[in-house]
A and B are shown apart, each in its own frame.
Chain A
Amino acid sequence: AQSVTQLDSQVPVFEEAPVELRCNYSSSVSVYLFWYVQYPNQGLQLLLKYLSGSTLVKGINGFEAEFNKSQTSFHLRKPSVHISDTAEYFCAVSDLGGATNKLIFGTGTLLAVQP
């Protein structure tokens, strides 16, 4: 069974400051890793994903994430946030080589960007 842990339920940060949202996962098999973003009153959309290869992946809106296999982590970073980045961010995993695209989500981190 897989599980995803997002330790921070809320991260307040000032505009133009850097931010890191933490994600750790547990799985008995190799996994794909994702970050999705949910803006207020909207559905989720994909920020970035790690499938294989380079452990540093870049996504939309200036976000990037680093896969660390030994620490089973996939932390999301942005060097300078904007007010418009205020949203809830979800880390998710799915089985590598699985027969479905079943996603298991973490509990989410609310990024609150203050002026």
Chain B
Amino acid sequence: NAGVTQTPKFQVLKTGQSMTLQCAQDMNHEYMSWYRQDPGMGLRLIHYSVGAGITDQGEVPNGYNVSRSTTEDFPLRLLSAAPSQTSVYFCASSSWEGGTEAFFGQGTRLTVV
């Protein structure tokens, strides 16, 4: 099992460019989520999904879009990148039920210049 796979691992964008961060899981998990990690701020929830076709906003959704067309994939789109979106992004998946273990990808380090 690969678990949760994120691509790319590193990315540099210019302000105003758009891009998609990919996330795929092979554990048949219903629940998937995206976090950003910034120094001194821990992990903050961007968007999450409880199943194919269902997404919702987290704590910091502005500037990001998501969709969930399949159980396996949960891409995160940056519509018009800004320097404030420089961060490390983590995708996670788990059973939808509270209290279950979340499995994280290795992260994508994004720099917006």
Interfacial residues, chain A to chain B (CB-CB below 8 A) = 4, 6, 9, 32, 36, 41-46, 49, 51, 90, 94-108
Interfacial residues, chain B to chain A (CB-CB below 8 A) = 4, 31, 33, 35, 40-45, 48, 50, 58, 90, 92, 94-102, 104-107
Given contacts A32-B98, A44-B104, contact A101 B31 (CB under 8 A): yes
Given contacts A101-B100, A102-B45, contact A9 B90 (CB under 8 A): no
Chain A's interface: helix, strand, loop or mixed, by majority?
Answer: loop
Query: Is the Cβ of B98 less than 8 Å from the Cβ of A96?
Result: yes
Chain B residues near A36 (CB-CB < 8 A): 102
Instruction: Tell which of B40, B96, B105 touches A101, judged by Cβ atoms closer than 8 Å.
Output: B96
Chain B residues near A106 (CB-CB < 8 A): 42
Query: Is the Cβ of B99 less than 8 Å from the Cβ of A96?
Result: yes
Query: Is the Cβ of B96 less than 8 Å from the Cβ of A100?
Result: yes
Chain A residues near B48 (CB-CB < 8 A): 100, 102
Given contacts A43-B107, A100-B48, contact A49 B99 (CB under 8 A): yes
Name 21 A/B residue pairs within 8 A (Cβ), A-sorted. Answer: A4-B42, A36-B102, A43-B104, A44-B43, A45-B104, A49-B101, A90-B42, A94-B98, A94-B99, A95-B98, A96-B99, A97-B98, A100-B50, A101-B94, A101-B97, A102-B58, A104-B45, A105-B42, A106-B42, A107-B41, A107-B42
